[in-house]
Amino acid sequence: MTMKATILAAGLAAVGTLPAAAQTLGIGTMGQGTSGYSMGAAIASVLADAGIDAVVQPATGTSAFLPLVDSGELDFGIANAIEIAEAHEGQVAFEGRPLENVRMVARLFPFRVGVFVRDDSDIMSVEDLAGHSATYGFTAQVTLNRVMDAYLATGGLTGDDIEQVLVPNVVRGADDFAAGSVEAAMFAMGSGKVTETDAAVGGLRFLPLSDDPEAEARMQEIVPQAYIGTVEPAENLTGVDEAMPAMFYDYVLVAGAHVPDEVVQEAVMALQQNQEALAASFGNFSEMDPDALYSDIGVPYHDGAMAAYQELGQAE
């Protein structure tokens, strides 16, 4: 029987408040307006159609909800491959406390991140950010410090070359940008918050990266999982008016080891069979490859996921 997925607007205060009898699964994501939240909403809807009741439970950052997946207080989580590798290895935000019960479920799609400025700004490239204010710090999304440093490195810059405006997360950074408190802000391309911010300031644009192989090499010295690809203009990509090189890394779905194998196996099959529905809910899923959901990033897969990939012929 198809169940209706409920998207919770509450934050982590909602975690653990659902009655056990409901057997509702929690999907940890970033806050409303972020790509992570939109991904979670799309996945919850597809799982509902497969008979798996799920709710999105937004948090201030992955460092807040991934430990809850590890402890069994949340069931699934959406994060990027960089963060999951750090969590598994006990690095950066997870220094000294590796999350040994977090398991890979699926590679979702390549994620595109950039820095945007106002349409009328004189800042035209990464190099031009030198001496200007930009969001930095990301205390609730610690991995983004490395991402921002890697982004700046493509233009031969470091964090010391910009005027750092410290923010806890990208949503706060976008709010500060809209308020005129900062000249440049990092955010994921295709996020609802970017469209909202664009309307608030009367127009914004993402800065293009250099497509020089040396720029990519500098970036990968800091974040090996990242790469430079080309972003084409699309209706859902506010701030991208022409083809441009941008920073890419993959987003993934993870689960706690406590989630029953059959549930995870069914979840993988639902993702594999419903790309069209996922993309209708969140456009970036159009770039998901249903035949390449399995991707080894050095983090163990959930047994239920492996059973699905063996059935699909994506893993041995």
Among 85-94, 124-133, 167-176, 243-252, the minimum mean pLDDT is found in 85-94
- In this structure, the chain runs to a length of 316
Looking at the structure, do residues 219 and 293 belong to the same domain, yes or no?
no
Query: Does 93 reside within a domain?
Result: yes
Looking at the structure, do residues 116 and 243 belong to the same domain, yes or no?
yes
Looking at the structure, do residues 105 and 137 belong to the same domain, yes or no?
no
Looking at the structure, do residues 152 and 183 belong to the same domain, yes or no?
yes
Looking at the structure, do residues 116 and 46 belong to the same domain, yes or no?
no
pTM for the whole structure: 0.70
pLDDT of residue 15: 40
Q: How are beta strands 133-137 and 163-167 bridged, if at all?
A: parallel
Residue pair 225/141 in contact (Cβ under 8 Å)? The answer is: no
Looking at the structure, do residues 22 and 101 belong to the same domain, yes or no?
yes
Which DSSP string corresponds to the chain? -----EE--S-GGGTT-S-GGG-PEEEEE--TTSHHHHHHHHHHHHHHHTT--EEEEE-S-HHHHHHHHHHTSSSEEEEEHHHHHHHHHT-GGGTT---TTEEEEEEEEEEEEEEEEETT-S--SSGGGTTSEEEEE-TTSTHHHHHHHHHHHTTT--GGGSEEEEESSHHHHHHHHHTTS-SBEEEETT-HHHHHHHHHHT-EEEPPPP--HHHHHHHHHH-TT-EEEEEPP-TT-TT--S-EEEEEEEEEEEEETTS-HHHHHHHHHHHHH-HHHHHHHSGGGGG--GGG----SSSPBPHHHHHHHHHHTS--
Looking at the structure, do residues 96 and 167 belong to the same domain, yes or no?
no
Single out the residue in 249, 266, 288 at which a domain terminates: 249
Q: How are beta strands 185-188 and 163-167 bridged, if at all?
A: unpaired
Single out the residue in 229, 249, 269 at which a domain terminates: 249
Structural domain span for residue 232: 112-249
Query: Does 298 reside within a domain?
Result: yes
Banded pLDDT at 105 (limits 50, 70, 90): very high
Total number of domains constituting the chain: 2
Which of 28, 33, 38, 47 shows the shortest CA–CA distance to 263?
47
Q: Which residues partner with 74 through β-bridges?
A: none
At 62, list the tokens: 């992955």
Looking at the structure, do residues 216 and 122 belong to the same domain, yes or no?
yes
For the residues 224-239, what does the mean pLDDT come to? 92
Single out the residue in 200, 217, 249 at which a domain terminates: 249
Percent of the chain exceeding pLDDT 70 equals 93
pLDDT in tens, 118-164: 999 999 999 999 999 999 999 888 889 999 999 999 999 999 999 99
Looking at the structure, do residues 224 and 135 belong to the same domain, yes or no?
yes
Looking at the structure, do residues 120 and 238 belong to the same domain, yes or no?
yes
pLDDT in tens, 49-101: 999 999 999 998 888 999 999 999 999 999 999 999 999 999 988 999 999 99
Residue pair 283/190 in contact (Cβ under 8 Å)? The answer is: yes
Query: Does 1 reside within a domain?
Result: no
* pLDDT averaged over every residue in the chain: 91
Query: Does 43 reside within a domain?
Result: yes
CB burial of residue 176 (10 Å; 0-12, 13-18, 19+): middle
Percent of the chain exceeding pLDDT 90 equals 79
Looking at the structure, do residues 272 and 284 belong to the same domain, yes or no?
yes
At 50, list the tokens: 């497969």
Looking at the structure, do residues 233 and 118 belong to the same domain, yes or no?
yes
Q: Residue 198: which CATH number?
A: 3.40.190.10
Query: Does 51 reside within a domain?
Result: yes
CA 287/CA 26 separation, integer angstroms: 25
